[in-house]
Structure formats: structure tokens, C-alpha cells
Amino acid sequence: MGTERKRKVSLFDVVDEATATAKVNKANGGGAVHGINTTTTGGMPLVNRWNGRPYSQRYYDILEKRKTLPVWHQKEEFLKALKDNQTLILVGETGSGKTTQIPQFVLEAVDVESADRRKKFMVGCTQPRRVAAMSVSRRVAEEMDVTIGEEVDGMLLREAMTDPLLERYKVIILDEAHERTLATDVLFGLLKEVLKNRPDLKLVVMSATLEAEKFQGYFFGAPLMKVPGRLHPVEIFYTQEPERDYLEAAIRTVVQIHMCEPPGDILVFLTGEEEIEDACRKITKEVANMGDQVGPVKVVPLYSTLPPAMQQKIFEPAPSPTTEGGPAGRKIVISTNIAETSLTIDGIVYVIDPGFAKQKVYNPRVRVESLLVSPISKASAHQRSGRAGRTQPGKCFRLYTERSFNNDLQPQTYPEILRSNLANTVLTLKKLGIDDLVHFDFMDPPAPETLMRALEVLNYLGALDDEGNLTKLGEIMSEFPLDPQMGKMLVVSSEFNCSNEILSISAMLSVPNCFVRPREAQKAADEAKARFGHIDGDHLTLLNVYHAYKQNNEDQSWCYENFVNHRALKSADNVRQQLARIMARFNLKLCSTDFNSRDYYINIRKAMLAGYFMQVAHLERTGHYLTVKDNQVVHLHPSNCLDHKPEWVIYNEYVLTSRNFIRTVTDVRGEWIVDIAPHYYDLENFPQCEAKRVLEKLYKKREKDKEESRNRR
Ligand code: CDP
Ligand code: MG
């Protein structure tokens, strides 16, 4: 053949709805391929059409494995269905090869099909979870034998802001649709509109379990394609009695399996980083104590904030026996529900399911959104047990009673859109030009009260005018991938002459907690933290940490010695750069107040208040705090750095546990409140409370001061 073709076909773009766009093949200038020789010898292509290089041995090795995936056998059927329809729904059990294969099938078909070779086409595949987007794009790059790109930015919704018809894309694949994340649901509605206006665009909706009819009905009766199910049977065990402590029960079950059951890896579902790390430590210790009677174990954690290199460990094989002929080794993966459907780990034979996951809940009445450990749904439990039967018959241990499974678990997980604060979503939709939110085609429309709350918040922030139209300020705020409060704080920070500092604080608030407190060195860790402490507030403490990190040249050992997480700070630095670029785009000045000025910290605190005036608590004479307007009793989180109990505080987060805490708090003054946010602190619609009486006095004082200064003039 040996034809030389000039063309621009962008390879493969994995788009994470939430955060990440990982571009495959940077070697070719950001994904575009030029002038490729496709040589064929005896029917066997030797050269990779995507980069013009010979295929590696690994490519052929993986190819053999790919050929065994259920999806592989339906390639022709899938491509025909895609050709004949604009929208296609594909349902297949986890591990059948949807995520890794379908984008490649589509890409080949699009490439062959596209008449105008100079035109650039993209195939986008969205993942609700960043971890999955990264892991899957790495895998697909490997399978295609190309170099993975390093760019990680944006998300499909954000792209739609500048490219409303998503014209860069020829095919969009919405993966993990059953997860029904906020972003997926918004994309559903948006893509429905785009499809009407772009007959050439195709949409593939993929899912593990799906209320297929509901999806078909929603997507204009799109055809449904099914990929055959799981490979092996899974035996399910329940506990006789409810477990009091699921963590302890899970650890006990792991140890029992390791002692008594035949070889096979274990997957345990827990709810979050802390719990997972704790379990990893305890299991490793217990197994070590058992000595040579049992085989060696490799215990690997998996959660979203784990660095990518650590995440790869879940794919490593189980350890070999310590002595020849000795007991077999076992891999034990302790994961959040990332491993439920997004990532498939082969070789799992035993699953332990305590029946809980961290889930978002939102109470629009008191405007509180929080992550709560709550019972999973039956659909989730079913998915979890399915993970045990990938390579051979497996066992699933549910740490709850059969009765509880039947009577207490809901059939499906509630879509996230029904349990979220929608301020950010509404701002995004407004920016996308969707004005009539009430009639927007949501698959499950959110409660009117939640939408009203979101509109109200955006109106108070000045992002929407009284008619609900996006203001100039709102336009800019919508460009920041942040909560509207934080966006507002950033946009106005130049006016308070402290945008450099507010940028750093925003970045620090956007990454996981940077303070490390190892069990064996708690005192030293607390002392280290106290050295960064700022008596007026935790936000300022975070700023101190960031400054110290930069002054010490971002040094990793400095971080270690000072009990701060290097990874978190590095990522804060990244976020900061990203935000600074957006500031520059809108000509928002980067400035600082002189550090020696009395106003240095005051300006920063005022700018924060300008964004967070709806997250204020007042200290009552009884000695506890009440949130302003909602009048909820809250306590300062024990992690705070304050040396006093300020009369007014702004807080970043409301933590619902057995007690209600506000976390990351900073002292602000009543005088600033009445200056900066009089529209929100309008006493005419303010519930009777102590804060109101204090505010009344402050308003009077303000009037008096104004009059005096007038008289003096
Ligand atoms: O999307 P679906 O659950 O249908 O399957 P998939 O994620 O495409 O996985 C297909 C196969 O690729 C499984 O056997 C996975 O174990 C394997 N895989 C892998 O080895 N490494 C990855 N990073 C992702 C998938
Ligand atoms: Mg998948």
C-alpha cells in the first residue's frame, strides 16, 4: 500500500466530566497526526497508523487479551448500530471492555469514514471520576501503543462554554452513565440539545447497570445494545446479626479469608481515605503477626486523592509464596466505590461489602451540603458482589443481614442532582445560555426549592440580576472552576488589594488537607502546625503554609520535616497557576498590600467576607455559635488555629457528624459585614435573634459615623 496521507485526526481524548482531560499522544503535537505511512506486509500492519512507528511487543501481548473481552466480539454489530443511529445505548457488565475498547472502535471507524482528512475530529469519552479518567487513558494509550499526553485540564461542560455545539467532537461517549453524577445528568440535558442542532454528532451512552428503559425513553427511543454478562457465579454470604463496627468486622473478615480460603485476591469496600489507610495498616500488622502459617500479603489502598503511581499498584500481581511450596500470597485491595464499576481489577475472588459509601447530601433549607457515610443501594451491592466473579467463581461477604438487604436498602442510588447544592450548576447552565431552568430537560428534575436556593445565592453574590440574567460579574465567575462564593472572592480580591494572597488561599482550599498527623507523631505534628498558625484564622494559616513552602523552594524534605503533605502543596501550586491564568484573561490585577502594613491581613479577611458573607456564624452570649439567618447551632472544629472565640466568623465548610462543626474559620468584624454585604444583612427580612440586635446597633453606629464625617466636612 504505502500511501502517504495528509490529514489531521486527533487521536483520543479522555474527558473527565469532573476535572480531567487527558490527551493521548503528545508526541504528535497535541494529538494531531500528520503524514503517516501505513505499510502492510502479508496482511499484517507493522506500523502503528497513529504515530508511524512499528508496534511494540507489548502491543501484541495486550491485543491477545483484548480479543478475549466480550465487547470485542460485538465490534461489527456495534459499529453498524453506530452508523445507523445518532444515539446508542450500550449496557454491559463491568469488565466487559466498554471503557477501554469502545473509544478505539469508534476512533477507527471515524477515521476511516471521514471524507475530509484535513478536518480535525475528536472522540471524547467522559468519566465521572478523575482517577478513572487518568487510569483508563493510560491504559488506552498502552493498548494503542502511543504515548499518553500529560495535559490534565478542563471538562466537557467547561468546553461547552466556549464551544456550545462541541464542534471539535465527532463522537461523544458518556461512560458510567448509571452513576448519575451531577455532571453526567447536566451533560445528558445539554447533549440532547446539541444533538438536535448537530445531525452529524453521535452519542454513545455506556453503563454497567442501567434502568435501560428510562434511558431509552429519555434519548428519543435510542436502540439498546447489550454485551453479555459476568463470567462466573458469585456466592453471597450475609451476617446473622447486624455488625456494630463495620471497619473492625471488615478487617476480621479479611484475616479469616486469608487464613481459611483458597488462593484469590480480596477487594474490600470502605468509605474514605482515613478509614482505608487505617484498615491497610491493621491488616498488614495482623497478618505479619501470624508469621509463616499464612502466605504473604500485599495490601493496596485505592481512593481518589492517592497519587497516580500508587493507584497503579492495584494492577500488580499478588506476592509469590515466601518459601517454595509455602502458602500462596494474596493481594488485598481496600477501596472506595471507585472499584465498584469504574476500575476493573482482575483476579479478585473475594469481595467484602460493609454496605456503606460516602454520599453527598444536601439540605436546601439550611443550605448545607455534606458528605455522609450512608447505606448503599441494592444496585450498588449487586455491582460490588459482581467484582468477585471476574476470573473464577467467587464469594461476596456482605457485612449486614439478609433482612436488612431486603428491607432497608433502596433499589437504586438517588441521582446526585437530587442531593446537591446547585449554585455552581445553575451558574454553568446560565453561562451555557440556558435561561429557562424550570423547563430544562433534566432526566430527574431537581426540587424547585433547590433551584430557587441556587438562584437566590447567585443573586446575592451579584452573579445574576433580579431578572435572573447573568451579570458581567457572573460571566467572569462562571469561568472559574470553583464554587460561586470562591469565584466571587477571587474576582473582587483585586479591589481589596490582595489578589495574590486570595489566589493562594483559594488554591489551598481546593486541594486535600495539607496537614499530616501520623499516629506515632501526633505531638510533633501539632507543634509543627502551630508554627504556621495564625491567630485570626485558618485561612491565614493556610496562607502561611503556602508562603513557607515557596520560601523553602518547594522542598520535599522540608515538607516532611514540617508535617505538611508535599503532594497537596504541589497540587495547590498547580491550581494557583491555573486560576492566575483565568485572572489574567479577564485583566484582573494581581496585587498585594505591603506586608508591613496593618491592613495586610485585614484586606485579605475583607475580601474573603465579600465572597463568603453567606457562611457566617455569630457567637451568642450562651457561648455557642449560631449560623447567620439559618440559626443552626455549630461548633468550631477542633482543628482550628484561633487563640480566641471571635464574635463573628466566616467558615469554609459545614461538617455534619454527631455534632455540627464549622471547619476552616476566620475572624471577621461586624463592621465589615454591614459595609460589605448590607443587601444580605438586610434587617427587614432577618429572623429575630441576637445577631440581629448586634447588627442593628452596628447599622446605627455606621449612620452616626457617616453623619459626623459629613458635619466635619
Ligand atoms: O468498562 P468496562 O467495565 O466494561 O471494562 P474495561 O474498563 O474496559 O476493562 C476491560 C479490561 O481491561 C479488564 O480486564 C481490565 O482489568 C483491563 N484494564 C486494565 O488492565 N488496566 C486498566 N487500567 C483498565 C482496564
Ligand atoms: Mg468502564
243 has pLDDT over 50: yes
Q: Which ligand 1 atom sits nearest the alpha carbon of residue 71? A: 4
265 has pLDDT over 70: yes
Beta carbon of 346 within 6 Å of any ligand 1 atom: yes
Beta carbon of 207 within 6 Å of any ligand 1 atom: no
Q: What does the pLDDT read at residue 391?
A: 86
> pLDDT digits over 670-696, tens only?
999 999 999 999 999 888 889 999 999
Beta carbon of 96 within 6 Å of any ligand 1 atom: yes
C-alpha cell of residue 198: 448537530
Q: How crowded is residue 658: how many other Cβ atoms within 10 Å of its Cβ?
A: 5
Q: Which ligand 1 atom sits nearest the alpha carbon of residue 102? A: 8
Find where cell 455534619 sits.
656
Helices (H), 627-689: 670-676
CA distance 363 to 261: 45
Same topology for domains 57-227 and 234-417, yes or no? yes
Q: What does the pLDDT read at residue 121?
A: 75
Ligand 1: residue whose CA is nearest its atom 10: 97
CA distance 303 to 335: 6
Q: What does the pLDDT read at residue 44?
A: 57
The band of 26, judged by pLDDT with boundaries at 50, 70 and 90, is very low
Q: What does the pLDDT read at residue 483?
A: 93
Beta carbon of 209 within 6 Å of any ligand 1 atom: no
**Which of 139, 230, 345 for a ligand 1 pocket mutation test, highest count of atoms within 8 Å of Cβ?**
139
Ligand 1: residue whose CA is nearest its atom 25: 344
The band of 1, judged by pLDDT with boundaries at 50, 70 and 90, is very low
**204 beta partners:** 88, 173
Model pTM score: 0.85
Q: What does the pLDDT read at residue 311?
A: 87
Angle at alpha carbon of residue 250, lines to 330 and 274, rounded to 5°: 95
Beta carbon of 92 within 6 Å of any ligand 1 atom: yes
CA distance 344 to 322: 27
CA distance 89 to 91: 7
Beta carbon of 97 within 6 Å of any ligand 1 atom: yes
Beta carbon of 344 within 6 Å of any ligand 1 atom: yes
Is the ipTM above a cut-off of 0.85? Answer: yes
Residue type, 713: R
Q: How crowded is residue 115: how many other Cβ atoms within 10 Å of its Cβ?
A: 5
CA distance 540 to 625: 21
Angular region, 66: left φ>0, alpha ψ -120 to 50, beta rest: alpha
Beta carbon of 99 within 6 Å of any ligand 1 atom: yes
Instruction: List CB contacts of 276: < 8 A, sequence separation 6 or more.
Output: 270, 301, 302, 303, 334, 335, 336
DSSP letter assigned to residue 17: S
Q: Which ligand 1 atom sits nearest the alpha carbon of residue 227? A: 4
CA distance 134 to 309: 11
- Please give the average per-residue pLDDT across 614-632, as a whole number: 94
Backbone angles phi, psi at 304, to 5 degrees: -65, -30
CA distance 72 to 269: 30
Beta carbon of 95 within 6 Å of any ligand 1 atom: yes
Tell me the CATH class for 480-593.
Answer: mainly alpha
DSSP one-letter string for 138-158: HHHHHHHT-PEEEEE---HHH
The band of 150, judged by pLDDT with boundaries at 50, 70 and 90, is low
What's the mean pLDDT when you consider all of the chain? 88
Q: What does the pLDDT read at residue 153?
A: 67
Q: What does the pLDDT read at residue 461?
A: 98
Q: What does the pLDDT read at residue 80?
A: 96
Share of the chain above pLDDT 90, in %: 71
Least distant ligand from the CA of 342 = 2
CA distance 510 to 502: 12
By the 8 A CB rule, do 605 and 537 touch?
yes
Least confident interval from 57-66, 209-218, 455-464, 471-480 = 209-218
Q: What does the pLDDT read at residue 118?
A: 52
Beta carbon of 103 within 6 Å of any ligand 1 atom: no
Smallest CA-to-CA distance from 661 within 653, 650, 669, 673 is with: 653
C-alpha cell of residue 232: 462466573
Share of the chain above pLDDT 70, in %: 91
> How many angstroms does the Cα of residue 100 sit away from the middle of ligand 1?
6
> How many angstroms does the Cα of residue 613 sit away from the middle of ligand 1?
46
CA distance 263 to 331: 10
Q: What does the pLDDT read at residue 30?
A: 29
CA distance 637 to 634: 9
Beta carbon of 383 within 6 Å of any ligand 1 atom: no
588 has pLDDT over 50: yes
Q: What does the pLDDT read at residue 113?
A: 63
**Which of 74, 137, 344 for a ligand 1 pocket mutation test, highest count of atoms within 8 Å of Cβ?**
344
Residue type, 69: L
C-alpha cell of residue 688: 429575630
CATH topology for 234-417 is Rossmann fold (3.40.50)
C-alpha cell of residue 441: 430537560
> How many angstroms does the Cα of residue 95 sit away from the middle of ligand 1?
5
Beta carbon of 462 within 6 Å of any ligand 1 atom: no
CA distance 688 to 686: 6
The band of 4, judged by pLDDT with boundaries at 50, 70 and 90, is very low
Q: What does the pLDDT read at residue 346?
A: 86
CA distance 236 to 232: 13
- Please give the average per-residue pLDDT across 310-316, as a whole number: 90
**Which of 61, 67, 100 for a ligand 1 pocket mutation test, highest count of atoms within 8 Å of Cβ?**
100
Smallest CA-to-CA distance from 652 within 615, 679, 619 is with: 615
From residue 6, alpha-carbon distances to 12, 35, 37, 55, 114 in Å are 18, 5, 10, 21, 13
> How many angstroms does the Cα of residue 64 sit away from the middle of ligand 1?
14
The band of 342, judged by pLDDT with boundaries at 50, 70 and 90, is confident
Higher pLDDT residue, 162 or 402? 402
> pLDDT digits over 170-219, tens only?
999 999 998 899 999 999 999 999 999 999 999 999 998 767 778 899 99
Ligand 1: residue whose CA is nearest its atom 21: 139
The band of 15, judged by pLDDT with boundaries at 50, 70 and 90, is very low
Find where cell 456564624 sits.
617
Beta carbon of 66 within 6 Å of any ligand 1 atom: no
Least confident interval from 58-67, 112-121, 325-334 = 112-121
> How many angstroms does the Cα of residue 95 sit away from the middle of ligand 2?
7
> How many angstroms does the Cα of residue 99 sit away from the middle of ligand 2?
4
Q: What does the pLDDT read at residue 135?
A: 84
DSSP letter assigned to residue 480: S
> pLDDT digits over 107-133, tens only?
888 876 665 555 667 889 999 888 888
Beta carbon of 460 within 6 Å of any ligand 1 atom: no
CA distance 702 to 709: 11
- Please give the average per-residue pLDDT across 650-671, as a whole number: 92
Least distant ligand from the CA of 317 = 1
DSSP one-letter string for 443-462: SSPPPHHHHHHHHHHHHHTT
Ligand 1: residue whose CA is nearest its atom 6: 97
> pLDDT digits over 535-579, tens only?
999 999 999 999 999 999 999 999 999 999 998 999 999 999 999
By the 8 A CB rule, do 218 and 187 touch?
no
Higher pLDDT residue, 118 or 168? 168
Q: E strand or H helix at 375, and its extent?
A: strand 368-375
The band of 468, judged by pLDDT with boundaries at 50, 70 and 90, is very high
The band of 362, judged by pLDDT with boundaries at 50, 70 and 90, is confident
Q: What does the pLDDT read at residue 371?
A: 80
Beta carbon of 98 within 6 Å of any ligand 1 atom: yes
DSSP one-letter string for 544-572: HHHHHHHHTTT-HHHHHHTTB-HHHHHHH
Residue 149 C-beta-side C-alpha neighbours within 13 Å: 22
Ligand 1: residue whose CA is nearest its atom 8: 97
Q: Would you list the domain boundaries of the chain?
A: 57-227, 234-417, 480-593
Instruction: List CB contacts of 90: < 8 A, sequence separation 6 or more.
Output: 78, 98, 102, 204, 205, 206, 207, 224, 225, 226, 227
> How many angstroms does the Cα of residue 139 sit away from the middle of ligand 1?
8
Q: Which ligand 1 atom sits nearest the alpha carbon of residue 138? A: 23
Under DSSP, is residue 202 helix (H, G, I), strand (E, B) or coil? strand
Backbone angles phi, psi at 612, to 5 degrees: -110, 25
CATH topology for 57-227 is Rossmann fold (3.40.50)
CA distance 546 to 38: 51
